[in-house]
Amino acid sequence: MVDMTSSAAGVDLIGSIIRYYDHTHFDYSSLWAHRSDPAFHYGYYDEQCRHHRRAVANANATLANFAAVKQGDIVLDAGCGRGGSCFWLAEKLGARPVGVNLVTSQLVYARKEADRRGLSGRTEFRRADYTKTPFEASSFDVVWALESLCHSPRKVDFYSEACRLLRPGGRLVIAEYMVTEIDMLPADQKLVADWLSGWSIPSLDTETQHKENADSMGFERIEVHDWTNRMRRSSLRLYCLARICHWLSFILNKAGLRSDVAHGNLLSARYQYEALQKRLWQYKILVAQKPGGTGRVL
């Protein structure tokens, strides 16, 4: 999430992101997240993870493996949501995560949940823009962004800040929706635009653009891994839930009992899968390393 408060457009973007998460809290909490893992991200299915809750946790394990997170590592969770990944990193790996977010309601939840789990001394949650944080340079071993970079209209700003924050040899890991590098028909462009609008996403970059952004900021050992097939079942699950709940949401919206933002979120849950089936976007994990350190980590 990007701080563009110097312009009216920036204020509107930040406001739309905050409204989106505030208005969709009930849907995510009741249909997707669980108290044991209050995460909003897609799950990663494999031979060992065939159920939703385990697949969601597997997303954290996958990113942690790619970034070689170890005990004691200080990890910046950029766009931390309600703290699900931070809790996992602290509890499972003994890392020291710091979550940043612009949505106050999510930060309030994360802090309360940290207290409940006995993690207040091992996690930290700050209201901050992940492209312009208050932290000193070289403060983190890992910068982690799980389905959060999409909210930034200028992804390169995130890569710049990530490089500043990482120690020499520090690792970057992101999991993100990336548009495919094809010429889309007008109908396909509209489908993607409708999906992004309903989820308060200003734009998506291609894999090439992400790699160029990382390279331009000085990262090395840049790798991109296609995990579309691992999350496809999660995308389908979201689509099915949206189809089931569509008419109830429509009626409640028309009756003034459900906001346009919440109803738009439900519609976009359908569009994302339809666009995925048409191969208009893919789900990819990018890992990179800041130069320096004592040797190869990734």
The set of catalytic residues is 147
- C-alpha 229/C-alpha 106 separation (Å) is 30
- C-alpha 21/C-alpha 111 separation (Å) is 17
Centroid of chain to Cα 48:
23
Burial class (CB in 10 A: 0-12, 13-18, 19+), 233: middle
Q: Inter-axis angle of helices 8-23 and 104-117, to 10 degrees?
A: 50
Q: What is the number of residues in the chain?
A: 298
- C-alpha 123/C-alpha 114 separation (Å) is 7
- C-alpha 64/C-alpha 41 separation (Å) is 15
**Cα angle at 292 between 140 and 212, to 5 degrees?**
80
DSSP-H helix ranges across the chain: 8-23, 25-31, 52-66, 84-88, 104-117, 155-165, 186-198, 207-216, 228-254, 260-277
Q: What tokens appear for 49 in the block?
A: 């993870």
Centroid of chain to Cα 200:
13
